[in-house]
Amino acid sequence: MDCYLGIDIGTFETKGVLADGQGRILATAKRRHDMIVPQPGWAEHDAEKDWWGEFCAISKELIATTGIAPGDIKAVAASGIGPCMLPVDEDGKPLMNAVLYGVDTRASEEIEELTAEIGEETLLAECGNTLTSQSVGPKILWLKKNRPELYARTHKVMNSSSFLVHRLTGRFVIDHYSASSSSPLYDIHTNRWSDRYADRIIALGRLPELLWSTEIAGHVTEQAAKETGLAPGTPVTAGTIDAAAEAVSVGVLGTGEMMMMYGSTMFIILVTDHRVEDGRLWYAPWLFEGQHACMSGTSTSGTLTRWFQEQFARELDAEEALRLLAEEAQGAPVGANGIVVLPYFSGERTPIHDPHARGVIFGLDLTHTRADIYRGFLEGIAYGVTSVIETYEGAGAAIERIAAVGGGTKNAVWSQAISDASGKTQDVAANTVGAAFGNAFLAAVAVGAAGRDDIRRWNPMERSIAPQEENRAVYDARYRTFKELYARNSDLMRGAEQRTSDEA
């Protein structure tokens, strides 16, 4: 039986899927890991342990569980959180922990420096993006300034999927979708690395080779075969960032189709037929040449619910806690009895791009319960998503269909609040495994065993979450409070930081 392996590295979990040529899932596996937070504003992973170690463990488990011959796996595709910044030596060995995507805000100073030097209009024109905590270029500059000894030893700067592909094949490659987040080092007009700022940041020879996501990057080496259980010579795709693979997994392929991913953060991708120019949103060439993607993301969602669980529901069984909290929240009224939460516990990405933003629980009194507060957290995430949707529409980007994916789709309060607050219907596919399943499909596409449109057969839509009009008035009122809270919170935080700086 021909089958295809997809593995995805998430913020807190690695997932693997083995699927046959019809999209039937033969087996799944997962491993949990932690996000390393050495200090406020930093977010890291141990690439050896969290990325490669878990890839190997899951690959072996899937082969053992199904009992298939390794040679029956006809292609492998990997994705991972991103954009990340991981410096490696000539052998591909990590020189430090991987610096994660936009939740890591350590390069705020470098963002300001490069923006002042280059200019926002130039950045938007050349790179399709202004510089934010999501940009890899400033993080490389941070490495150059703050870890010069490691920078000097850096042979290549990798992301999560390119690290895995190197371990599997020995090649240093990165897909275009991922590379475009390396602003200001990627030219969106030529789809090549740009040398305009190489002297300032890093020589282009120290960046991976560019490929499209479904191109074959190489084949499993003898050493990788020993570590993963895969057959030597198995084709490996160039891979991509997890959110892109997740979008593919639920059939987001055409113009106007949007993926809303419920994960550690909310991440949203809209496929377009042209580049949407708006500094509040992110741009990338889509996985397939000739298409474009307009993206956005919050800084917290699943990380926030996990934090709430760890701080306020410690007595609940860890495996059941989030489900039980969701059941409690179901019993609280729409609008959380007046509580409004700003979910900016790690700053915020789209659309405000403010690392100074902080979380707020507003409206508490002695009558409120844990259920009210937790519902307020879920609704706060919904208000953040609503502001993102408004940004898309304000930029002139038409949204024809929204496909929701991720574990959060099983949380009725959370998913319904997003539809109610935003006024948008969300379609949910039969299979919500996510990026790992998308990778298995992309692996099949890469070797010609499937066409792009076959994903609709692999994973048909199962249900829709439509807005409930009776809730709209409550959510509209709370959303107005949400926006006013942010405006005041931002001013207060900046003022407090300035006073602290003055006192120091």
pLDDT of residue 184: 97
Mean pLDDT of 309-333: 95
- The model's confidence at residue 9, banded by pLDDT at 50, 70 and 90, is very high
Q: How far is CA 420 from CA 304, 385, 417, 474, 478, in A?
A: 20, 11, 5, 10, 12
Q: Share the mean pLDDT of the chain.
A: 94
pLDDT digits (tens, 9 = 90+) for 478-488: 999 999 998 88
- The model's confidence at residue 489, banded by pLDDT at 50, 70 and 90, is confident
pLDDT digits (tens, 9 = 90+) for 402-458: 999 988 899 999 999 999 999 999 999 998 888 999 999 999 999 999 999 999 999
pLDDT digits (tens, 9 = 90+) for 174-185: 999 999 999 999
Buried b (16+ CB within 10 A) or exposed e, 400-417: ebbbbbbbbbebebbbbb
Q: Is the model's pLDDT at 490 over the cut of 80?
A: no
pLDDT of residue 504: 55
Give the global pTM: 0.85
pLDDT digits (tens, 9 = 90+) for 207-240: 999 999 999 999 999 999 999 999 999 999 999 9
- Both tokens of 117, joined, read 């030097």
pLDDT of residue 222: 98
Q: Long-range contacts made by residues 67-71, C-beta under 8 angstroms, separation at least 24? A: 68/1, 68/3, 68/18, 68/26, 69/231, 70/225, 70/229, 70/230, 70/231, 70/234, 71/231, 71/234
Smallest CA-to-CA distance from 333 within 476, 480, 474 is with 474
SS3 content of the chain, % helix, strand, coil (to 5): 40, 20, 35
Q: Is the model's pLDDT at 493 over the cut of 80?
A: no
pLDDT of residue 154: 98
CA distance 103 to 303: 10
Residues in the chain: 504
Q: Are 87 and 162 in contact, with CB atoms under 8 Å apart?
A: no
CA distance 36 to 21: 38
pLDDT of residue 498: 58
pLDDT digits (tens, 9 = 90+) for 341-380: 999 998 898 999 888 889 999 999 999 999 999 999 999 9
CA distance 489 to 407: 30
Q: How far apart are the first and last CA of the chain?
A: 67
Q: Is the model's pLDDT at 8 over the cut of 60?
A: yes
3-class SS string, 428-479 = EECCCCCHHHHHHHHHHHHCCCCCHHHHHHHCCEEEEECCCHHHHHHHHHHH
Q: Is the model's pLDDT at 497 over the cut of 70?
A: no
- The model's confidence at residue 319, banded by pLDDT at 50, 70 and 90, is confident
| Radius of gyration from C-alpha coordinates of the chain | 22
In the chain, % of residues over pLDDT 70? 97
Mean pLDDT of 248-253: 94
pLDDT of residue 488: 84
pLDDT digits (tens, 9 = 90+) for 50-90: 999 999 999 999 999 999 999 999 999 999 999 999 999 99
- The model's confidence at residue 279, banded by pLDDT at 50, 70 and 90, is confident
Q: In this predicted model, which residue has the larger pLDDT, 143 or 129?
A: 143
Angle in degrees, CA 401, 405, 410, rounded to 5: 120
CA distance 256 to 210: 27
- The model's confidence at residue 42, banded by pLDDT at 50, 70 and 90, is very high
Q: Are 432 and 406 in contact, with CB atoms under 8 Å apart?
A: yes
Instruction: Phi first, then psi: give them for residue 207, nearest 5 degrees.
Output: -110, 150
Q: Are 205 and 155 in contact, with CB atoms under 8 Å apart?
A: no
pLDDT of residue 277: 87
Q: Are 25 and 43 in contact, with CB atoms under 8 Å apart?
A: no
Smallest CA-to-CA distance from 100 within 116, 83, 75 is with 83
CA distance 166 to 337: 52
CA distance 394 to 166: 41
In the chain, % of residues over pLDDT 90? 87
- The model's confidence at residue 495, banded by pLDDT at 50, 70 and 90, is low
Q: Are strands 73-80 and 3-9 parallel, antiparallel or unpaired?
A: parallel
- The model's confidence at residue 503, banded by pLDDT at 50, 70 and 90, is low
Mean pLDDT of 141-164: 98
Q: Is the model's pLDDT at 243 over the cut of 70?
A: yes
Smallest CA-to-CA distance from 238 within 214, 221, 220 is with 214
Q: How far is CA 366 from CA 362, 369, 372, in A?
A: 13, 8, 12
Q: In this predicted model, which residue has the larger pLDDT, 319 or 477?
A: 477
CA distance 458 to 250: 9
Smallest CA-to-CA distance from 14 within 263, 266, 324 is with 263
